Chains A and B, each alone.
Chain A
Amino acid sequence: MTAIARVRTGWSHANRRGDLSAAAIALTPAVLLFALFNLYPLLYSGYLSVMEWDGFSPDKDYVGLGNYKALYESSTFRNALTVTFTYTAGVTLLGVVLSLLVAVLLNSGIRGQNIYRLVYFLPVVTSTVAAAVVWRYLMNPGTGYADVLLRDLGLTPPSPSWLRNPDWALRIVILVGVWKRLGFNIVIYLAGLQNIPKEYYEAATVDGAGGWDRFRRITIPLIAPITLLLVIMSIIDSFLIFDVVYVMTDGGPVGTTEVVGLLLYRQAFRYFNLGTASAMGWVIFAIVFVITLIQWKFFGAREAGL
């Protein structure tokens, strides 16, 4: 029976028993809230993206695709896209690889597993803004712990210091992003690892496979659906990065950490160009949508067995 046929039987079955109206009543509040707080703003921002509006005046001017054209021509926006892609790639790659390594180590039965799990998970539940402020203090020029530690080790910190250094600022922001994500990835990976039947490993050991072979031939393929999930989630989250950058660097130095989220915020709430900001939102939406589709098509559907 195909999936659709199955749904259809279920549907008529439910209807026959008179449960459909109950289901409708139960779902209505959620659907209404979703429509009010997600769907309506989404569509409204689409409408705003073809308008020029300062947020105050009663009239909005229709400018067609003018806002999108201006973004296409803006070198600031292009730079912001590059920075956002770099950040996303860095956080996703490092975050997924590191968390898989840690998860495998934790799963190998070392002592105090729960304590490690807690320690790695703490950053996930820490308020991002608070964490970013603390990181900023750590990286403070001269008096920050990073500088003090380096000087104690007999090394010279870079000049200008960390977050004011065009070579270092983005790396540190990526580091904070990875630090914040790692625990979440580890917990999901651990759950996946524990679902792999022990027999597979035993059989492979009997056949003479070493540790690396078992990891490569059993763990990685069997955990692929989870990797896909984590990569997609990481890309979506990272692409929308705003708070860490806003607190730590405000986009500086010389635009090296100026992500799209920051530009959008400035356009909307500092310069009151709500049309431009909405257009940026839709460009981000389109990019994330396409990336997710591609992943799903070429990698996901097959591996996830859907």
Chain B
Amino acid sequence: MKRIFLVLAVIVVLVTTPALRLSDTEGVASAQEPIKLTFWNYWDGKNGETIQALVDRYNEEHPDVEIQNVFVGWGELLPKLQLAVAGGDKPDLAAADMVWMPYLAKSGALIPLNTFIETSGVAIDDFYPALLNVNTYDDQVYGLPVSTNNLELFINKDRFAAAGLDPDTPPTTWAELKDYAVQCAKPDEGVVGIELYTQPGEGLTWQFQVYLWQAGGDFLTEDLTQAAFNSEAGLQALQFWLDLIDSGAYTISDWGLFGQGQACMVMDGSWMVGIWAETAPFEWTTAKMPYPEDGEPATNMGGEHIFIMSDDEARQQAAWDFINWFTSPEIQLEWDMETGFMPVRDSVATNADYQAWIQQNEPRLMPFVEMQQYAHNRPPVEQYSELSDVFSAMLERAIYGQMSPEEALSAAEAAVNSLLR
């Protein structure tokens, strides 16, 4: 019995001591101590190093604030934010994927930025509107874009040369894209002419959306209440994919062939420029994504947006000051040069220094910078993740020949509409 009491006594001491100590220091030192802010984001590798360096510099220049930069993996960030909101242990600010923003903005967990933006006199028109509107809900702005990216064409120069093609005259139309791909593919060696994303999920959806927009179609109606892809343009885009498969330009396989040197061409993101510059064991270049002769240039965009979650007014102000600094043209310029992200502000994209820097250091980024103006955003609806999954599941049925293209688009339309209702 005695021993049990001893154990209980130890537990009581262990549980209460940290709490005592915490209240102790807070009482004494709150006047001089800097405000400590927690900042969650999923930037890793080179991007992670760059954000850490920027945060360190900000802390040094602002002794009254101490921002703690915390890495949370892409897959965990949203569930962790959710737990943090439920458990009352939120980060003060965070940067997250733009596709989550409509959901986050609507959740009530983010602090509206309108007053901060007006007081600080931020030139909000300088941000690309397609990026800004995913943060807006009920006329309130809940976040600011900090980085973006888009999809253009990558070409394996070695494969092109082996097939007698010239990488300096890349395909410019869908017809040419198909011809080049058929000529370059070697199905018996597992080499595809153009790599497509054919596993269900957002990978398929966001790649297909580019083809859809290029053919003049749209994913949802303008008021975001109904599917719009079951159209002439949708059919043209899906039929083009099926033609690529039927002609042997592409064979169904797992995504990732281009990096292994097993694809002549692929449409992939600007972030791959930095990665493949270091890892690809072959020569490659980039070009603008070809579009149909009667179509229009288009691409898809991703990226990160920064927002405030703290309930405390002093912390909100401190967090905003950091956001205002981080999104300023000077810091954005530095950030984009270090990471290879696409600019979110027009004044950065058109900046002469920036353009000269790209030409000199990585001209392969140029198609991405030039095409950012044609980038569409994925529809800002909170059910987007589920919507994207059901859409891609129906397209997969057409790719496997289990449905005709018309059937697949109608089935996807019905499924998407029922989710939007």
Q: Which residues of A contact B198 (CB under 8 A)?
A: 164
Interface status of A64 (Cβ within 8 A of chain B): no
Tell me if A252 counts as interface (CB < 8 A to partner B).
yes
A143 & B107 in contact (Cβ 8 Å cutoff): no
Instruction: Say which residue of B107, B252, B254, B402 sits within 8 Å of A57 (CB atoms).
Output: B107
Using known A-B contacts A25-B4, A54-B107, determine if residue A251 contacts B254 with beta carbons closer than 8 Å. no
Contacts of B389 in A (CB 8 A): 266, 270-271
Whose C-beta in chain B lies nearest to the C-beta of A251?
B200
Q: Does A254 contact B (CB under 8 A)?
A: yes
Contact (Cβ within 8 A) A252 B107:
no
Interface contact B385-A56, CB-CB below 8 Å: no
Do the beta carbons of A271 and B85 come within 8 Å of each other? Answer: no
A305 to B415, CA, bound (A): 52
The residue on A at minimum CB distance from B104 is: A56
Would you list which residues of chain B between 362 and 421 have a CB under 8 Å from chain A? 382-383, 385-386, 389, 393, 396-397, 400, 402
Contact with B along A234-251 (1 / 0, CB 8 A): 000000000000000011
Residues of B contacting A41 in the complex (Cβ-Cβ under 8 angstroms): none
What residue in chain B is nearest A269 (Cβ atoms)?
Answer: B79
Name the residue on A nearest B256 (C-beta).
Answer: A140
Question: In the complex where A54-B107, A56-B85, A272-B82 touch, is A254 in contact with B251 (Cβ < 8 A)?
Answer: no
Q: Does B323 contact A (CB under 8 A)?
A: no
A13 to chain B, nearest CB (A): 21
- Given known A166-B400, A250-B200, A253-B396, contact A271–B386 (CB-CB < 8 A): yes
Q: Is the CB of B190 within 8 A of A55?
A: no
Bound-state CA distance A57–B251 (Å) is 44
Cross-chain contact A252 with B385 (CB below 8 angstroms): no
Given the complex, which residues of A lie within 8 Å of B397, measured CB to CB?
A: 254
Residues of chain A from 132 to 188 with CB closer than 8 A to chain B in the complex: 140-143, 159-161, 163-164, 166
**0/1 per residue, A251-278, Cβ < 8 Å to B?**
1111100000000001001111100000
Bound-state CA distance A175–B168 (Å) is 48
CB pair B383–A271 under 8 Å, yes or no, is yes
| B247 beta carbon closer than 8 Å to chain A | no
Which residues of A have CB within 8 Å of B201?
Answer: 250
Interface size range of chain A in the complex? 20 to 34
Instruction: Please measure, in the bound complex, the distance between the C-alpha atom of A254 and the C-alpha atom of B198, giving whole angstroms.
Output: 10
Measured CB to CB, the closest approach of chain B to A28, in angstroms, equals 11
Do B253 and A56 touch across chains, with their CB atoms under 8 A apart? no
Residue B354 at the chain A interface, CB threshold 8 Å: no
Interface residue A58 (Cβ < 8 Å from any Cβ of B): yes
Give the CA-CA distance A304 to B92 in the complex, in Å. 59
The answer on a CB contact under 8 Å between B254 and A164 is: yes
- Contact call B199/A250, Cβ cutoff below 8 A: yes
**Measured between alpha carbons, how far is A25 from B7 in the docked complex, in Å?**
12
Our pick among A55, A253, A269, A272 for the contact of B400 (Cβ within 8 Å) is A253
Cα distance, A58 to B82, chains bound together (Å): 11
Given contacts A251-B200, A271-B385, A271-B386, whether A55 and B82 have CB atoms under 8 Å apart is: yes
Chain A residue at minimal CB-CB distance from B107: A56
- Return the chain A residue nearest B252 by Cβ: A160
- Of the candidates A54, A255, A270, the one whose C-beta lies within 8 Å of that of B393 is A255
B190 CB contact (under 8 Å) in A54, A142, A269, A270:
A142
A79 to chain B minimum Cβ distance, whole angstroms, is: 10
Chain B interface residue bracket vs A: 20 to 34
Instruction: For the complex formed, measure the closest distance between the CB of B78 and the CB atoms of chain A, giving whole angstroms.
Output: 8
How far, in angstroms, from A159 to B187 measured CA to CA in the complex?
Answer: 11
Contact B396 A164 (CB under 8 A): no
Min Cβ gap A1→B in Å is 34
Which partner residue on chain A sits nearest B75 by CB separation? A269
Task: Give the shortest distance, in Å, between A53 (CB) and chain B (any CB).
Answer: 11
B27 at the interface (CB under 8 A from A): no
Neighbouring B residues of A272 by C-beta, 8 Å: 82, 103
| Minimum CB distance partner of A55 in chain B | B82
Are B251 and A159 in contact (CB-based, < 8 A)?
yes
Interface residue B121 (Cβ < 8 Å from any Cβ of A): no
- Chain A neighbourhood of B254, CB < 8 A: 140-141, 163-164
Query: Closest Cβ of chain A: how far from B389's Cβ, in Å?
Result: 7
Interface residue? B108 (CB, 8 A): yes
Q: Which residue of B lies closest to A26 (CB)?
A: B4
B-chain residues with CB within 8 Å of residue A142 when the two chains form the complex: 189-190, 253, 262
Contact with A along B133-171 (1 / 0, CB 8 A): 000000000000000000000000000000000000000
A252 contacts B396, C-beta separation under 8 Å: yes
Q: B12 contacts the other chain (Cβ, under 8 Å)?
A: no
* List of A residues within 8 angstroms of B189 by Cβ: 142
A255–B201 Cα gap in the complex (Å)?
12
Determine the distance from Cα of A106 to Cα of B79 in the docked complex, in whole angstroms: 47
Q: Bound state CA distance, A141 and B262, in angstroms?
A: 11
Bitwise interface map of A from 88 to 100 toward B, beta carbon under 8 Å scored 1, else 0: 0000000000000
Interface 1/0s, chain A 45-57, versus B by CB < 8 A? 0000000001111
Residues of A within 8 A of B262 (CB): 142
Once the chains bind, are B199 and A252 in contact (CB under 8 Å)? Answer: yes
A254: chain B residues within 8 A (beta carbon): 393, 396-397, 400, 402
Q: How far is the CB of A133 from chain B (nearest CB, A)?
A: 13
For the complex formed, measure the closest distance between the CB of A71 and the CB atoms of chain B, giving whole angstroms.
Answer: 14
Q: Cβ of B253 and Cβ of A161 under 8 Å apart?
A: yes
- Contact A252 B200, beta carbon cutoff 8 Å: yes
Residue contact B108 to A56, C-beta cutoff 8 Å: yes
Give the docked Cα–Cα distance between A250 and B389 (Å): 12
Contact of B108 among A58, A253, A255, A273 (CB under 8 A): A58
Closest to B190 in A: A142
The answer to whether B37 has its CB under 8 Å from any CB of chain A is no
- Complex contacts, A273 vs chain B, CB 8 Å: 386
Report chain B residues within 8 Å CB of A161.
252-253
Looking across the interface, which residue of chain B has its beta carbon closest to that of A267?
B386
B20 at the interface (CB under 8 A from A): no
Minimum CB–CB distance from B86 to chain A (whole Å) comes to 7
The residues of A with any CB-CB pair to B shorter than 8 Å are 25, 54-58, 140-143, 159-161, 163-164, 166, 250-255, 266, 269-273
8 other contacts beyond A57-B107, A160-B251, with CB at 8 A cut-off? Answer: A56-B109, A58-B108, A160-B253, A250-B201, A254-B393, A269-B78, A270-B389, A271-B385
Q: What 6 A-B pairs come out closest when comparing CB atoms? A: A142-B190, A56-B107, A160-B252, A271-B386, A141-B253, A55-B82
Show 15 A/B contacts (Cβ-Cβ < 8 Å), sorted by A. A25-B4, A54-B107, A56-B82, A56-B107, A140-B254, A141-B253, A142-B190, A163-B254, A164-B199, A250-B199, A254-B397, A254-B402, A266-B386, A270-B386, A271-B383
